[in-house]
Amino acid sequence: MIIENIVANIDDLEKADLEKRHIERVYLESAHLVKRIQRVKTDHGKEIGIRLKSPRDLIAGDVLYMDEKNLIMVDVLSDDVLAIRPRTVMEMGTIAHQLGNRHLPAQFEGDEMLVQYDYLVEELLQDLQIPFSREERKVKQAFRHIGHSHG
């Protein structure tokens, strides 16, 4: 089976639609969510090719296939992240500036800034006394680097 389009996202489907279907999951590392072409295997051993026609990243919960009885969706493996919880705008500005200088991609969930674990960032947060924790957490989308050059 080759998947060329995303059917929907699991969050947009009615609960009744989900309950009547057998659900299989394709577990991906968050870094693989940006790949438009890849071969994957469901948690039930079914091999699937993904070759998306549109230039779109996969997101946790994307439905790759759905019929009357079955549904195959994307799930994401946990990432090793630093969950940063600045207490003030000054702390947020300081850490955002520092991470921006390092070109580190970040995501935001509620009042937290998430970055992939890096021991140098961990040391920086300790030095700046900005609250954070190291966690295994599922993110809905890939940490995406944005191209930039100084020049």
Residue 108 belongs to some domain of the structure: yes
Domain that holds residue 98: 79-137
Q: What is the pLDDT of residue 9?
A: 94
Domain count across the chain: 2
CATH number for the domain including 8? 2.60.260.20
Residue 88 belongs to some domain of the structure: yes
Domain co-membership, 18 together with 46: yes
Domain co-membership, 6 together with 72: yes
Let me know if 118 is exposed, middle or buried by CB neighbors in 10 A (0-12, 13-18, 19+). Answer: middle
Q: What is the pLDDT of residues 2-54, one digit of tens each?
A: 999 999 999 998 888 788 999 999 999 998 999 989 999 999 999 999 999 98
Task: Give the pTM.
Answer: 0.77
Residue 148 belongs to some domain of the structure: no
pLDDT surpassing 60 at residue 149:
no
Domain co-membership, 50 together with 112: no
Among candidate residues 140, 141, 125, 138, the one with its CA nearest the CA of residue 84: 125
Among candidate residues 61, 69, 67, the one with its CA nearest the CA of residue 8: 61
CATH number for the domain including 101? 3.30.70.790
User: Token pair of 137, please?
Assistant: 């957490």
Indicate the residue among 76, 96, 124 that finishes a domain.
76
Q: How far apart are the first and last CA of the chain?
A: 46
Residue 145 belongs to some domain of the structure: no
Domain co-membership, 91 together with 125: yes
Residue 150 belongs to some domain of the structure: no
Indicate the residue among 24, 45, 76 that finishes a domain.
76
Residue 124 belongs to some domain of the structure: yes
Residue 55 belongs to some domain of the structure: yes
- The one-letter amino acid code at 37 reads I
Q: What is the pLDDT of residues 66-113, one digit of tens each?
A: 999 999 999 999 999 999 999 999 999 999 999 988 888 899 999 999
